[in-house]
Structure 1
């Protein structure tokens, strides 16, 4: 019996936009807690009317292609001052959001039309959790709409996605933090007592309430907002092809809801092919935990694109960052090519990386923030933000990066209070200054004695296009013949894709077909063809597909459950001309035991 097969970027859209040819079916979520085994189906549009918690022991399964809409806090939506519509996985709860590129799961504002089904999925009105009827007046999301009224201009339209788990977290605001590590495992030696805090960031030992969800802000949340414990193998679910857009909420200083927030999330949580876009605060913020991620995209984020702290640890691969600029104009559109008129509060496209250690700062507490990022592509804002900001005992290693339109490339802030010393190492990085910076801005790495760099300022752009507000002008694929294509960097650890060129998207524009960037028409009109995969072979599976060219690298991955995927061929991509036939010698056909394969170009 031959196993089933699955190809990445090759799943047929089981149900398309015609599903909402008439009026969509709306389900307004009003209960604060979601309990039991719940399934949200793609034939409905779900409206989040406050902060909702998937509680301990519960699982929320979200079908591919499902649209989830949140509302603003206060009188403009929820009628609760500090509760915009948001979705939270509490500790010991799970969300299974296993989308596909043809059927992504979209979490967005109440009136964003760029979803499966389009404008038919926007409600005319809804009744919030307080029983009040609200009328929806759709805004203009066209990419060439007027300044201040277009798809580039909005944020803070709802809350965000928060994922909480039981992994170790370096958050010690009372008492003496643990610094002893006799067994050299990077974790504090036992006994290591955990004490629930009494309020947001005011107490606790090793765990805390996540930003925005403490009892002082949401009195009815109880302990659902807690994160952190002593299980680095924790599992909070699956997040694949999830687009989180137009959200974020600032409650106060250092107290915000980001686009995607994790707290103490364990390494058995799966997160890949997820985008955070047009958020008022951070795109991704990881508070402690051990999650390993791949294929993440932070687009047009007003604060930090990626913020990692409190002992976050893991190996990350294939990240992309695109920043906007409040003063830049659009180009190439048929309508308005003025500035976007993006709304902002206290930040305007801030740091691209902000990484620090334990709370409180500089106390040497375990576990240390220890992050390795491989294959990063970054298009800067052309402003004064620092691409890499490392501080307070963080240990950060960036390998194989390509950058364009950059300002300060690295800033390490270390004080005499640092217990172990901040480490910021940046290797095999190629960066290019696109000409939008003033002469007073620094275009070079700022290093400390603890930092090592291997970075080259190039004389030509490394990307095929870095016009972040230009119609068809944003092409994160590496340009032909550039230095970043040279395969001379460090290979990542086993289990990741074994490539050592600089940057992420070599020949494949991974955002095409599902990202908000594609809807806003900034991506190129053409892309490398999706491989159509067939399986054969009597004993070992033979994976066959047609190559787009001799120089195109293809990754083949397999799964037994379509939850986690592992690169085959020891992670080394395959190349060839015409039909490629690859035999997976590590797998033998077994009757009744399925194996799934996916193939994608780099």
Structure 2
């Protein structure tokens, strides 16, 4: 009797173990969860805070995030404009916030249906950080056609967080200087805003433009944009910028255009780890002025730049002949106050495939290494430039944007 009872217990125990094994290995438990993207349209004024779940969205019109509103996009989302719907862009008004935090392999992509450069307005953000405009003005009017006033006293303004975000085919220009757009446009944006791992891809104007403010950008890629890769004015003074990569191809102007509205500021932006490359055969957008240098300083533009790699800024013979160079100083005032005055610092600079180190844009002065006081100019053949991690955030249609880094 005891023997039979013992045998029965063993059988029941074996059955229980088998059941637990099969239950633990069920296909329901081990199968990967596939999250289907939602589909929707985004338009009009956004007046209520909202999170847009992972999905594919159509952006229609100049969509404006109002003051006091936070709009969040989940990682991996794609937001597509369509130029046939008219002027389209995403605008973060002063007081509003945009939270778009992708990952290295699940970026958030803002693109355009036709994949033609200049088809939409890109991302535009406003803040109330300080600016120094023309004649030292503390405010100015935007050049994006919205004609909004920007500039304030809140250096720590926070417009949100953009991480692993790519903007494609933007840079729509409707009227030059009064209604034009970039990939990313930052109007008096403050240092509380996070800008990290951003790509501006094949736009028709600047990749990134800063209109004053104190915000900084880390790990920025400007690839194939038709005007300048990086551009700023209005006394922008971001202090924590690093790992900037510009690859200019087809039609392009400066790698970095640096100006300060003709105001001799006592401050300057700081950028470390910069790579500026120009592909063979690239020509300038406009033919009325020299526009093919790696870095141009004009209208009292200044700054502190270090660990720089410059490559491929050669002379242009057609359609208009210009000399290409690593550094252009456009005007005598900038030369006197900023170069000789010690407010332009370029250190650890490696220059290759570029016939001219310095280019003078005006009459009455000649730029050379001796023009820079102290250690404000320094060549280093081991400079490394930008350092960026590969991943889907930097890959478009199977092309690795970092292949030329």
Q: Same fold (TM over 0.5)?
A: yes
Distance 2:126 2:255 in 1: 23
Structure 1 residue 450 displacement after superposition: 4.8
Aligned to 2:272: 374
Name the structure with the higher helix share.
2
Matched residues, number: 338
Q: Does 1:212 align with 2:220?
A: no
1:93 has 2:55 as partner: no
Aligned to 1:198: none
| Residue in structure 2 matched with residue 413 of structure 1 by the alignment | 330
> Hey, what does 1:61 align to over in structure 2?
72
Runs (5+) with no aligned partner, structure 1: 1-14, 79-83, 113-153, 179-204, 216-224, 326-347, 457-482, 485-500, 525-602
> Aligned in 2, Cα 1:429/1:64: closer, same or farther, shift over 3 Å?
same
Question: Residues 394 and 402 of structure 2 are in contact (CA less than 8 Å); yes or no, is this contact kept in structure 1?
Answer: no
Larger radius of gyration: 2
Work out the CA distance in 2 between the residues paired with 1:171 and 1:108: 32
TM alignment of 1:427-442, pairs within 5 A = 427-433=347-353, 442=355
Relative to its length, the structure with more strand (as a share) is 2
Q: Are positions 1:27 and 2:40 aligned together? A: yes
Question: Which one of the candidate residues 504, 507, 513 is aligned to 2:392?
Answer: 513
What is aligned with 1:128? Answer: none
Instruction: Find the aligned partners of 1:369 and 1:299 in 2 and give their Cα distance.
Output: 29
Q: Distance in 2 between matches of 1:40 and 1:232?
A: 29
Mapped to 1, the partners of 2:267 and 2:255 lie a distance apart of 17
State how far apart, in whole Å, the 2-side matches of 1:96 and 1:300 are. Answer: 26
1:403 is the counterpart of 2:301: no
Tell me how far 1:25 sits from its aligned partner.
4.3
Task: Label 1:513 to 1:392 Cα distance change in 2 as closer, same or farther (>3 A).
Answer: same
* 1:61-117, Cα deviation, whole Å (9 max, x unpaired): 111111111121xxx322xxxxx21001111111011111121110001256xxxxx
2: CA distance between counterparts of 1:206 and 1:158?
A: 29
Cα pair 1:393 1:419 within 8 Å, conserved: no
Higher RCO structure (Cα 8 Å, ≥6 apart): 1
Q: Which runs of 5+ in 2 are unaligned?
A: 1-31, 284-291, 315-324, 360-366
2:293 match:
386
Aligned residue for 1:350?
Answer: 253
Q: Quick check: 1:357–1:368 contact (8 Å CA) kept in 2? A: no
Which runs of structure 2 are paired with 1:231-250 in the superposition (5 Å)? Answer: 231-250=154-173
Indicate the SS of the match to 1:313. Answer: coil
Taking the aligned partners of 1:377 and 1:96, their CA distance within structure 2 comes to: 28
Partner of 1:328 in structure 2? none
Change (3 A) 1:517 1:69: closer
Q: 1:287 to 1:48 in 2, by over 3 A?
A: same
Write out per-residue CA displacement over residues 215-238 of structure 1, whole angstroms, 9 at most, x where no aligned residue: 4xxxxxxxxx33211111111110
For residue 417 of structure 1, report the CA deviation from its aligned partner: 8.6
Pair 320,522 (structure 1): closer, same or farther in 2 beyond 3 Å: closer
Provide the TM-score with structure 1 as the length reference.
Answer: 0.53
CA contact (8 A) 2:199 2:220 kept: yes
Determine the C-alpha separation between the residues in 2 that align with 1:274 and 1:417.
31
Structure 1 counterpart of 2:126:
164
How far apart are residue 286 of structure 1 and its match? 0.3
Match of residue 203 from structure 2: 279
Q: Quick one: distance in 2 between partners of 1:268 and 1:171?
A: 21
CA spacing shift, 1:369–1:277, aligned 2, 3 Å: farther
